[in-house]
Amino acid sequence: MSTMGKVIVVTSGKGGVGKTTCTANLGSGLAQQGKTVVLVDTDIGLRNLDLVLGLENRIVFDLVDVIDGKCRSFRQALIRDKRFENLQILASAQSRDKDAVKPEQMKSLCQELKGAFDYVLLDCPAGIEMGFKNAIAGADEAIVVTNPEVSAVRDADRIVGLLEAADIKPIHLLLNRFKPNVAQKGQMLSVEDVQEILNLQLIGMVPEDERVVHSSNKGEPAVLDSKSKAGLAYRQIVHRLIDPGAPAWAPEQPGLMSKIRRMFTVNLGSQPN
Amino acid sequence: MEFLLRLPLLGWLFGGNKEKDVSREAARNRLKSALVGDRCSVAPGMSESIRKEVLDVLSRYMDVDSQSLQLRLQPDGESMRWSADIQVVRVHRQAHLPEQALVDPSQRKKRPKRNLRGIRWRRSQEDQPSVEEKSA
């Protein structure tokens, strides 16, 4: 209670890059490490975070109810996670629009929340309009989620400009849905390319993993799935969030065939590449 | 050896990265150019402030037609090219002295004199007649 928590906004600009999945996974990962965490779905009108975590049936009050003062305190609207009792979520309103909330109101809510939790993660809506402005109003730090695609990186750059203008720092880069095999063949932007273009500190890379969809389907975050590569990446990112000095993880995972291929090319004495 | 690698199966097995699809390069270059344009168009008042400063610098050396100044940012091969175009009315006579041109003529100070060894004369406290000596 004595120390204030951190408010981190998870944002991207472009939709569909995995903001909600990241928020759910990082939140669960932080809770697994014993931190007290609250996840706030700020995407008013498009509620999703509850579904990814399998908490869709427990919602009574939402973000707009809290801001409008329809419940006694924010605590009444928080939904406790199934797996971790130190993880709570505040769902967004489904029947309202983004103008139902003002940046100043979000700011004071974030201030209240960070007095009660170690981490406040805000799941930001796509775009740069009112919803985005609301989401970043009370944020201390940001995680910019992007994919190794031109459109996602371009939008991320725009978002970074707006975050810098709002004096939010540090801004962490999370490269999601990365395909090491494809990047190795030069058919996709590499981790270094994206990092160089956006000129941000990389907090981690999450490989494309079918198990992520599988976990979302079941409402169980991949970070808790010990077999999932993405889950492992999320756990690494959680460590880096807690301790910024922890090493970044950029695994090179060549497939079996390329290993064999490399073995032969060396033996044949020809120049690889 | 080379022709063996052309065979699809052997090529796939041993050729590996022989024929690289370089779409990564294309993505990187196109993205970089796009971001130059984006950042310029987004920064509030940037082009106006560049315009003002360019005119400021130029007018130290020459009279220019400020109305004719055109600033352009356009793709040039794989990178972006920024160019300025302006009509010159006349060039100042001392234009070949850039370090003087940087200083406003009214503020221009005389250069310190140098002795033959190239050491700048500097009057130290001791060299100067002190107030007491004067009065005495």
Q: Which residues contact A33 (CB under 8 A, 6 or more apart)?
A: A238, A239, A242
Residues 23-82 of B with CB under 8 A from A: 23-25, 27-28, 30-32, 34-35, 38-39, 42
What's the pLDDT score for residue A76?
Answer: 93
Q: Least CA distance to A256: which residue of chain B?
A: B13
Do strands B79-91 and B62-76 pair parallel, antiparallel, or not at all (unpaired)? antiparallel
B87/B67 Cα distance (integer angstroms): 9
Torsion sign across C-alpha atoms A185, A191, A194, A199: negative
A210/A229 Cα distance (integer angstroms): 10
Report the residue from A150, A161, A261 with minimal CB separation from B16.
A261
Portion of chain B with pLDDT greater than 70, in percent? 52
A189 and B CB contact within 8 Å: yes
Give domain status of residue A174, yes or no: yes
Question: Mutation test of the interface with chain B: which of A153, A159, A198, choosing the one with the most B Cβ atoms within 10 A?
Answer: A153
Q: Which two tokens stand for residue A255?
A: 């497939």
Q: What is the end-to-end Cα distance of chain A in Å, rounded?
A: 57
pLDDT > 70? residue B53: yes
Report the residue from A154, A188, A258 with minimal CB separation from B16.
A258
Which residue range forms the structural domain that includes residue A165? 6-268
Portion of chain A with pLDDT greater than 70, in percent? 90
Whether residues B24 and A189 touch (CB distance < 8 A) is answered with yes
Give domain status of residue A105, yes or no: yes
Contact call for residues A174 and A198 (beta carbons, < 8 A): no
A74/A66 Cα distance (integer angstroms): 6
A256/A1 Cα distance (integer angstroms): 51
Give domain status of residue A19, yes or no: yes
Q: Least CA distance to A271: which residue of chain B?
A: B18
What would the pLDDT profile of A133-182 be if each residue is shown by its tens digit? Answer: 999 999 999 999 999 999 999 999 999 999 999 999 999 999 999 999 99
Neighbours of B124 (CB within 10 A): 6
Q: Which two tokens stand for residue A270?
A: 């020809």
Portion of chain B with pLDDT greater than 90, in percent? 18
Whether residues A158 and B38 touch (CB distance < 8 A) is answered with yes
Give domain status of residue A201, yes or no: yes
A121/A38 Cα distance (integer angstroms): 6
Task: Provide the number of CB pairs (under 8 Å) joining chain A to chain B.
Answer: 63
What's the pLDDT score for residue A118?
Answer: 97
Q: Which pTM does this prediction carry?
A: 0.74
Whole-Å CA distances, A62 to A78, A93, A122, A207: 8, 5, 14, 33
What would the pLDDT profile of A4-49 be if each residue is shown by its tens digit? Answer: 999 999 999 999 999 999 999 999 999 999 999 999 999 999 999 9
Q: Least CA distance to B22: which residue of chain A?
A: A186
Give domain status of residue A255, yes or no: yes
Do strands A79-80 and A87-90 pair parallel, antiparallel, or not at all (unpaired)? antiparallel
Neighbours of B10 (CB within 10 A): 12
Count of domains observed in chain A: 1
Give domain status of residue A101, yes or no: yes
Higher pLDDT: B16 or A257? It is A257
pLDDT band at B132 (very low <50, low <70, confident <90, very high): very low
What would the pLDDT profile of B83-130 be if each residue is shown by its tens digit? Answer: 999 999 988 876 556 565 555 555 555 555 555 554 454 444 444 444
pLDDT > 70? residue A263: no
In this prediction, residues A72-80 reach a mean pLDDT of 93
H or E element, residue B27: helix B23-42
> Quick check: ipTM above 0.90?
no
Q: Give the rounded distance of the alpha carbon of A215 from its chain centre.
A: 16
What are φ and ψ of residue B121, in 5° steps? -65, 130
Q: Least CA distance to A152: which residue of chain B?
A: B31
CATH, residue A12: 3.40.50.300
Contact call for residues A38 and A89 (beta carbons, < 8 A): yes
- In the predicted model, what is the mean pLDDT of chain A? 89
Give domain status of residue A1, yes or no: no
